[in-house]
Structure 1
Amino acid sequence: MLLKNTFKSRKYIFCFLVGAYVASVLWITLLSRIGSEYRAFLFPFYSYREILKGSKQFLLENIGNVVLFVPLGAILSCIGVNAFKRTILIGFSSSITIELLQTIFSLGMFECDDILHNTLGALLGFMLVKRFVRNFRIKMNRKSVVLILVSIILCVLVPVGYKK
């Protein structure tokens, strides 16, 4: 009985953390930004040219984009995604969706390098969990999905309602 309850609490904590992660990514990439009329498209490997010219800002952004999606790959591994190709596809799809939303709502530039780095981050997280955390699996069901959605809503609403 104790083991069953321990597993349930681990599952609930995992679902809440997934929701908090998704809310954080949405907040960082979309919700915390102010729109403008400025739109730009940066071609692939643009950031590397800027880094070679000495730009530390692009280096930090590239590292940040990789780190931002490492949890996504870890989550995918924990919920039973077993294929590198599927992880790459989900990381790529998630990243391109964010980039397209940023462009549509004028919340940032469409950067091809961001898509590359986010996808690499997802793949890195997936590989880290596969390598070091072998026995942690969470079976997703309707209750888990509802908990994740409630967590996302709560984690998005808290910063929106915060006033200094």
Structure 2
Amino acid sequence: MLKKVYKIVIIPYTLFLLYLMFLGMGRSQYEDHMIRIKPVISTVEFIRNTILWKYIVFVILGNIIMFIPFGFLGWILPGFKDLKTLLIAFVSSIVTVEALQYFTRMGILEVDDILLNTLGVYVGWLLSRWIEKKFSDLVL
């Protein structure tokens, strides 16, 4: 049951997420190509320079939570049940999306986004394994 619902929802969800990454939340094209390649340091600077904690939590947790559904891809693509295969495919995909943000100037290529998004996929993969063990009758 859950796998069928997931199969129906993941494509529109992916399209929605791409919309958010390129056009949503009041985005406009930057004048210059922007890149932040210092892992963790840019996130620490973001925290230091942001006044409202709710914005910090929204951005950092959002970068994790929004990608949890991709940890479940093994439900519809059996090759992605293997964590290593899933992460290699995901990191390749998210690096491509981040590069597109850079080249189109519709976002910033940020290494921290790649790390946080990948953490979200890992959390999703762990959740999918737990759900399969705990609720195997609902998953099919």
Shorter-chain TM-score range: 0.7 to 0.9
Q: Quick one: distance in 2 between partners of 1:24 and 1:64?
A: 14
What's the TM-score once normalised by structure 2's chain length? 0.77
1:72-131 residue CA offsets vs partner (Å, 9 max, x unmatched): 112x13122221111211221221111111001001111110000001101110110111
Tell me what 1:113 maps to. Answer: 112
Q: Identity of aligned pairs, percent? A: 27
| 2:26 maps to 1:35 | no
Counterpart residue type for residue 40 of structure 1: M
How many positions carry a matched residue from both structures? 126
**What does 1:48-127 align with in structure 2 at a 5 Å threshold?**
48-51=44-47, 53=48, 55=50, 56=53, 57-74=55-72, 76-79=73-76, 80=78, 81-127=80-126
Q: Quick one: distance in 2 between partners of 1:16 and 1:54?
A: 40
1:41 aligned counterpart, secondary structure: strand
Counterpart residue type for residue 82 of structure 1: K
Q: Quick one: distance in 2 between partners of 1:28 and 1:104?
A: 17
Q: Which has the larger radius of gyration?
A: 1
Q: Quick one: distance in 1 between partners of 2:117 and 2:56?
A: 14
Q: Is the 8 A contact 1:36 1:106 kept in 2?
A: yes
Q: Quick one: distance in 1 between partners of 2:119 and 2:22?
A: 20
C-alpha deviation, 1:133, in angstroms: 2.7
Q: Is the 8 A contact 1:71 1:125 kept in 2?
A: yes
The 1:14–1:50 alpha-carbon spacing in structure 2 relative to 1, beyond 3 Å, is closer
Q: Is the 8 A contact 1:100 1:110 kept in 2?
A: yes
- The CA RMSD over aligned residues, in Å, is 2.1
**What does 1:12-27 align with in structure 2 at a 5 Å threshold?**
13-27=5-19
Q: Quick one: distance in 2 between partners of 1:26 and 1:125?
A: 19
Unpaired segments ≥5 residues, structure 2: none
Q: Quick one: distance in 1 between partners of 2:34 and 2:106?
A: 10
Which stretch of structure 1 is more off in the superposition, 127-136 or 92-101?
127-136
Q: Quick one: distance in 2 between partners of 1:98 and 1:117?
A: 14
Unpaired segments ≥5 residues, structure 1: 1-6, 138-164
Counterpart residue type for residue 47 of structure 1: T
